[in-house]
Chain A
Amino acid sequence: MKKMTKDTMAGAAGRRRAGSGDPLGPNSEIGRKLKQYYDELVSDHVPDRFAQLLSQLERTEPAPKKD
């Protein structure tokens, strides 16, 4: 296994700080996982109950409120 010198490590840390334009961008493992996690949730099948709820709300529009 290749050894890393202190200098290389310091340089790496420096670059990291410098490249902080978008810390959650595509170059970030955390950023990519975050999107993967979320996209999976977003693409989850939406249960019918929500469409039904909206139709129900539509049918029972409340009586006019005054304020």
Chain B
Amino acid sequence: MTAVSQSFKTDLLGSIPSLRAFAVSLTQNADKADDLVQETLVKAWDKHESFQPGTNLKAWLFTILRNEFYSQMRKRGREVQDSDGIMTARLAVHPAQHGQLDLKDFRGALEQLPEDQREAIILIGASGFSYEEAAEICGCAVGTIKSRVSRARTRLQEILKISGEDEYGPDAISAQVTGSNAA
């Protein structure tokens, strides 16, 4: 048993903001998120010896946090946070104007995604992990992450009524907004 090194502790401290962000993304609840981060830190501390220095600490911590999240969910028999009905009703998103998508609307849309898709798109699109790292964190194949990200992205576009993602020509957008479901 080796003592926890000072640098490990410092790195742990430094990763708290990311851990909290990931935890909020998973739980969609600030209090639960902080409890989850606390659990994660305790676990990480206890098993610090299993961390291999030189490897990605953030990925290691995210893995712990994620496992903790899912095991808690299983324990609680998955108290459904089914936001669907509520959020959909509340959302009533107006067509996204060029670059004007409201962050609140986005948050609401994100909440509607199934956990597996939400975590995948967060890990890839926001936390800065590679597909390989995300696959390792989630314990699944790289292809699975890719398809989850892609489904998440499509779903978000649907909810937020964004289409033609890569073109910002006002024409393309207004055509899609006004043109209804031509296709």
A contact residues vs B (CB 8 Å cutoff): 1-4, 8-9, 12-13, 15-16, 19, 23-24, 27-31, 33-44, 46-47, 49-51, 53-54, 57-58, 61-62, 64-65
Contact = CB atoms under 8 A, between A and B. Distances in A.
Contact of B1 (A2, A3, A30, A65): A65
> Dominant SS at the B interface?
helix
Interface of B: 1, 3-4, 9, 12-13, 16-18, 20-21, 24-25, 34, 37-38, 41-42, 45-46, 96, 99, 101, 103, 106-107, 110, 121-122, 124-127, 149-150, 153, 156-157, 160, 162, 164-167, 171-172, 174-175, 178-179, 182-183
A38 B25 contact: yes
Given A2-B171, A4-B175, 15 more contacts: A2-B174, A9-B183, A29-B162, A34-B125, A35-B125, A36-B103, A37-B103, A37-B110, A38-B21, A39-B126, A42-B18, A46-B20, A54-B12, A54-B45, A58-B9
Given A41-B20, A44-B17, A29 B125 contact: no
27 contacts: A3-B175, A4-B175, A9-B183, A16-B167, A24-B125, A29-B99, A29-B101, A29-B162, A33-B103, A34-B106, A34-B125, A35-B126, A37-B107, A37-B126, A38-B25, A42-B20, A42-B21, A43-B17, A50-B37, A50-B41, A53-B41, A53-B42, A57-B41, A61-B3, A61-B4, A62-B46, A64-B1
